[in-house]
């Protein structure tokens, strides 16, 4: 493992094996014991879908924001979207990322679920 130390308090803030660490209880954020993990951003009820290639060596990634505020619901939604698109992906800080250009498929899926969907970006 390659742990990185913060310069202020000397506590572990990131570990390559575990990811982000909670500064209070020093556990991975996913298993934070003190429940002081960073809150997901508030949404306005509109799901925004965009294709992002910047900083990804030209590879397209479909990015979904504003889908949900509940982390467990967000994980299951991401799993369903990945299966529907037949592609890999992840959830990072309240944002779903699906590998490849699947904007149309993702927008259609959210419309079926009765959500307000907007295509963001160009």
Specify whether 24 is located in the same domain as 67.
Answer: no
Domain count across the chain: 2
Specify whether 19 is located in the same domain as 61.
Answer: no
Specify whether 32 is located in the same domain as 58.
Answer: no
- Average pLDDT (8-36) is 68
Range(s) of the domain holding residue 80 = 46-119
Share of the chain above pLDDT 90, in %: 31
- Average pLDDT (88-114) is 91
Specify whether 57 is located in the same domain as 100.
Answer: yes
Specify whether 52 is located in the same domain as 112.
Answer: yes
Specify whether 27 is located in the same domain as 55.
Answer: no
Residue 88 has pLDDT above 90, yes or no: yes
Pick the residue with more confidence: 56 or 109?
109
Specify whether 28 is located in the same domain as 85.
Answer: no
| Per-residue b or e along 85-119, where b marks 16 or more CB atoms closer than 10 Å to that residue's CB | bebebebeebbbbbbbebbebbbebbeeeeeebee
Specify whether 92 is located in the same domain as 71.
Answer: yes
89 neighbors 98 (Cβ within 8 angstroms)? yes
Specify whether 72 is located in the same domain as 90.
Answer: yes
Specify whether 33 is located in the same domain as 93.
Answer: no
Please name the residues in contact with 73: beta carbons below 8 A apart, sequence gap of 6 or more: none
């Amino acid at each position: 493992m390659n742990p990185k130390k913060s310069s202020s308090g000397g506590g572990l803030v990131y570990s390559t094996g575990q990811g982000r660490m909670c500064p209070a209880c020093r556990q991975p954020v996913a298993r934070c014991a003190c429940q002081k993990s960073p809150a997901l951003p508030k949404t306005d009820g509109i799901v925004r879908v965009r294709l992002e290639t910047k900083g990804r060596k030209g590879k397209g990634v479909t990015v979904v924001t504003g889908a949900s505020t509940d982390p467990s619901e967000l994980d299951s939604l991401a799993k369903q979207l990945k299966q529907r698109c037949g592609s890999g992906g992840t959830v990072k800080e309240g944002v779903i990322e699906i590998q490849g250009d699947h904007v149309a498929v993702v927008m259609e899926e959210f419309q079926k679920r009765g959500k307000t969907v907007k295509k963001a970006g160009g």
